[in-house]
Structure 1
Amino acid sequence: MDDLVVVGAGPYGLSIAAHAAAAGLGVRVLGRPMASWRDHMPEGMYLKSEPWSSNLSAPDGRHTLAEYCATRGLAAEHGRPLPIGAFSAYGMWFARHAVPEVEEVTVTEVTPQGDGFRILTAEGPPLLTRTVALAVGVMPFVHHPRALRDLPPGHASHSSGHRDLARFAGREVAVIGAGQAALETAALLAENGARPCLVARRSRLNWNTAPQPLHRPALRALRDPHSGLGTGWRSWAWSELPWAVRRLPAPTRERIAATALGPAGAWWLRDRFERKVPVLLGHRLHRAVAVGERTRLGLTTTAGESVVLDVAHVIAATGFTPDLARLELLDAGLRAALETVGDSGSPELSSGFESSWPGLFFAGLLTAPSFGPSMRFVHGAGFTAGRLVKGVRQRLGDRGRRRGSTGTARFDRAASGVRPGVPPGHPKTSLR
């Protein structure tokens, strides 16, 4: 039985595995390395975060993005956007140098078994592990606007569903959304010969300003500090104090996760976008109908006026909604037993990223209502990996002591009278 199985091999999963291996744990990593970045982002996209804040995390501080770029003759400079392809290649390099071999299998089910977990894959026999860390990324949580969900196949898609936007050349495409994914997708569509139009509920688009120099006079740096999530004290707090966010009341954490660092475009994209993409701001999508091979959108303005937009295709750049109910690989009874953060549908977590089910840990987007918005960015992987592995070691120590006292490595639920779906010692009130 393994000490830890990490499900997912993106920035969070790889970072956790690197820390776990360095701590001497028996760890296995399951998944396709950097899958979301390699398979679900259009060619031509750039990393929005600064290179120095986009490192995967190894416990010795090595294997940084700058180190990788230096070996390839690439520039990883402050204020200079890096292609997504280069970042994906960096993640693959990190996996080869800092992580135990990644097993490229598809996990289909995670189920409690005895004092640990059974993990089923599409490719091989079951695995048994004492603890499991779910670092599944964002793809299970793709959000499609309700108005688009009943359209026939081929009429609408999500922005994460495209690797090559050249297929839309010569066609009218409505892009729904106002964040970086929507703005950059629309710009890339135009640059690939399509005729995009951006549709957004917001009355104005927000654009980030060009980053200030890293080295500035002390007073300027104090007034507007740099952080992994941008400049300013608020961004600094989200970036550097996720442990403090977790100590806030649940409703406050829910609000922060939902509203902090809202939709905005990168400063380097603005000119490319504004020169080529028409916009319909203050327009809410309320209806979508297939008319032959085209799609007719019913929009409503803030003044209550109706607008009809006829296009060849609709791309929803509407982000991701973290919700345990959509994590189908996790046993349904286990999911139902988990304590959540208010109404968010995300698990309540200990300071070590452990859920209310002993031995089950989470990382990435699902942890934002516990630790704040840094968990939506690569920058949060460093904080997560160190704390989560510490939590795993503590859990394994607790189980070792329990095994030592009972003389058995397994807990017999039937004999104990514990009802199905609730783990033994269910720590609903003992989150650290």
Structure 2
Amino acid sequence: MSLLEQVKEAGIVGAGGAGFPTHVKLASKAEYILLNGAECEPLLRVDQQLMALFPDEIIKGFEAAGRQVEAKKAILGIKGKHKDVIDLLEERIKALHVEDYVEIGLLPDIYPAGDEQVLVYELTGRVVPEVGIPIQVGCVVINSETALNIYYAMEGKAVTETYLTLAGDIPQRLTVKVPVGTPIIDVLKLSGIENFDDYTVIDGGPMMGPVMAGTDGYVTKKTKGFVILKKHHLLIQRKSASKEQSKRINRATCEQCRMCTDMCPRYLIGHDMQPHKMMRALGYKSDNLEEKGIAQLCCQCNLCELFACPIGLYPKAANNYFRDMLLEKGMRYKPTKDVFEARGPREMRKLPSKRLIARIGLRDFDKPAPMAECPLQVQEVHIATRQHVGAPAEAVVQVGDRVEVGQKIGQIPADSLGAAIHASISGTVTECGNGYIAIRRG
């Protein structure tokens, strides 16, 4: 079985972000393969610890992926502040005799260093075109856990578990490995909190992760962490503003200072993303949607709302307002050029992570979340048939079937983009429908 078939069979998707199927990404041919080990979201601690705990496996999986796409060079991107991990990786690269192919690329400790297009620029100096993807400039990007999963796929192991961090205003900060489909509430209780009435949970990092309406739901392959904060925390209040609230405030208050644009990571790498123009457009009754197409260039990093705006407005919400309108009309932004260059002031406008953490009120919680053995003995999992970009997986089991860990329970529909799913515990299928396959242990 080829590596591509192994990766497809294992159901590997991007471990974080949108969850793009990795076998599709590795079907490309590229000049560079880049490993995204930036983990730029405040408080999350998965990638840095995986690289320390499994350096050989990650390097081997990364190298194999690079050979698959015929890359001339494999660059492992990691922030320069992780000196101990860097030393270990350099040692293992030499021990594995791949130093002529795999190298370390040092990243600054900025936000959002882990944005795929920012990462490409930092490691190669190339700018991905507007509404483009890295392969357009000869790059394929995967992250640390994806590289680890590729190694396991080479050993015949499917994706049945994921690593995630619990952080925030909690007694126990930790990083754990849990079965895909684990009830989120069971994971949250590992934080040392039993009653969440006074808390709100962010699904993912504090910048881009959405505020959860409750503690229901189940872990997916791309779950990377939960940030737990008191309901009155300013960050929770800011992220909980409704569309109508943010729209009303933006219309009434924006003074067109341009800070949202001048700090925008996509604007700084040369794209035409200009949030202040979307803020301005809210105040006018223009029917010309085409001139608002730049809203589709927003990468949703939230830097404009949570850091750049000096009076706490909602530029990202303005972008999203027009994005939704464009989507409704089936309109898509068309770049006016093919080659892009980073803007001159970029180097002076990079946002240090520590400064961001202080601004959003998380400095007291910016502490280690060490890897720990998960004490959970999950009795029932609900594995989503769609936890990736593309079509939902089609069930290949039915209620009453006995399944074992690693057994395929959902396949990619014919001629579709998607990913297979596998049993994360051994047991009996108790539900098969409504977007989930449920398995009860024993």
User: Please, what TM-score do these two structures have when normalized by structure 2?
Assistant: 0.25
User: Please, what TM-score do these two structures have when normalized by structure 1?
Assistant: 0.25
The structure whose Rg is larger is 1
